[in-house]
Amino acid sequence: MKIACLAGDGIGPEIMAEAKKVLAALDIAGIETADADVGGVAYRNHGHPLPPETLELCKAADAVLFGAVGDPACDNLERHLRPEQAILGLRQALTLFANLRPATMFAGLEDMSALRPEVARQIDLLIVRELNGDVYFGEKAIRTLPDGRRQGFDLMSYAEDEVRRIAHVAFRAAQGRGKRLCSVDKANVLETSQLWRDVVIEVSAEYPDVELSHMYVDNAAMQLVRNPGQFDVVVTGNLFGDILSDQASMCVGSIGLLASASLGETQTAFGTKGLYEPIHGSAPDIAGQGKANPMAMILSLAMLLRHSLGLDAQAARVEAAVAKALADGVKGADLGGSANCAEIGDAVVARL
């Protein structure tokens, strides 16, 4: 079993080192890792944020462990050369359309949530974010209108099959959890969302055991901080899911805690190719200072073990070790503590 490790930029290498430490400590027979450049570092070393050799390595691997990309020094490059294009390119090239972003309250962190402890304690939700469509991948440009004004545009669109496949993933996820699914859209304004809602309702006929509800995204943003305990599984489009998942992270205490799995069609089968990454970015403001919380990265490794390698027990072991470390007060600066990145990784290893 081969895991491609793409550390990337900023805090990416720091948190990747801790995830690898955990993987090594698990001592699972038959796993090999291979590193490759991605993002700004790949642009500097190879002239492209997603060099062909990196893409080939990912295609040949059983799973991809991804740190983060993004470098302020690259923000003025032509868009196709910017670090962020690497992660978008991987999601597209590997058809990773289903992004699972769980947010659960860890014991001992209630006081770190941006919400009141009694509200935060209820959080146990899963955001299923569509990852291959929406404004992200539509036609886009900054063009000059006939009268000389510049106009920027990004086409928002979803084809029905794109909605149908993510809806199936979300309904199946709900069947495995609390059997409630909330579809988040903006159907009161957007035609894209109207089609989204229509298709989700069609798909729901195949899942009579799942209770389906719909919510407009503005209300969802409000409800997520008012009463996040009401949500079980949330399914939404690429852009809304991006925003709501960052918001959910502060509801549980830190963006340094939220992991994700990006999966394709056969998402639960053993051997499925998948990409696993924290939901946060390269955090240039704290890079190189040992201040990054590697837990989101380590929990992403746990998702990799479960979803791509079928190693459920090992995944649970990693998750339990992270929970124990937090319960024991092992916290980085993001959670009001003083442990550095390597110390957090060591603390997780010690609790495996």
State the catalytic residues: 136, 186, 218, 242, 246
Q: Which residue has the tokens 């990409």?
A: 275
314 part of the interface to ligand NAD, by CB under 6 A: no
Residues comprising the chain, all counted:
352
Q: Residue 334 touches which of ligand IPM, ligand NAD, Mn ion, none (CB < 5 to 8 A by kind)?
A: ligand NAD
* Inter-residue contact 267 to 165 (CB < 8 Å): no
Nearer to ligand NAD, 12 or 182 (CB): 12
Q: Which of 62, 185, 334, 346 binds ligand NAD (CB under 6 A)?
A: 334
9 part of the interface to ligand IPM, by CB under 6 A: no
DSSP state of 308: T
- Collapsing DSSP states into helix, strand and coil, what is residue 274? strand
Question: What are the tokens at 85?
Answer: 């294009």
Does 286 carry a binding-site annotation?
A: yes
242 part of the interface to ligand IPM, by CB under 6 A: yes
Could you tell me where the beta strands, DSSP code E, fall in the chain?
2-8, 32-35, 63-68, 98-104, 124-130, 140-144, 150-154, 180-185, 211-216, 233-236, 259-263, 274-278
Looking only at residues 270 through 289 of this chain, which bind ligand NAD when binding is defined by CB under 6 A? 277, 280-286
Q: Which of 19, 41, 50, 87 binds ligand IPM (CB under 6 A)?
A: 87
- What region does 219 belong to: left with phi over 0, alpha with psi -120 to 50, or beta? alpha
Q: Which of 16, 105, 257, 279 binds ligand IPM (CB under 6 A)?
A: 279
- The bridge status of strand 150-154 relative to strand 140-144 is antiparallel
Does 292 carry a binding-site annotation?
A: yes
Torsion of Cα atoms, 202 then 206 then 211 then 213, to 10°: -10
Nearer to ligand IPM, 284 or 290 (CB): 284
Q: Which of 255, 263, 298, 311 binds ligand NAD (CB under 6 A)?
A: 255
Binding residues vs ligand NAD (CB under 6 A): 11, 68-70, 84, 87, 255-256, 277, 280-286, 292-293, 296, 334
Binding residues vs ligand IPM (CB under 6 A): 84, 87-88, 242, 279, 281
Binding-site annotation: residue ranges for Mg(2+): 218, 242, 246
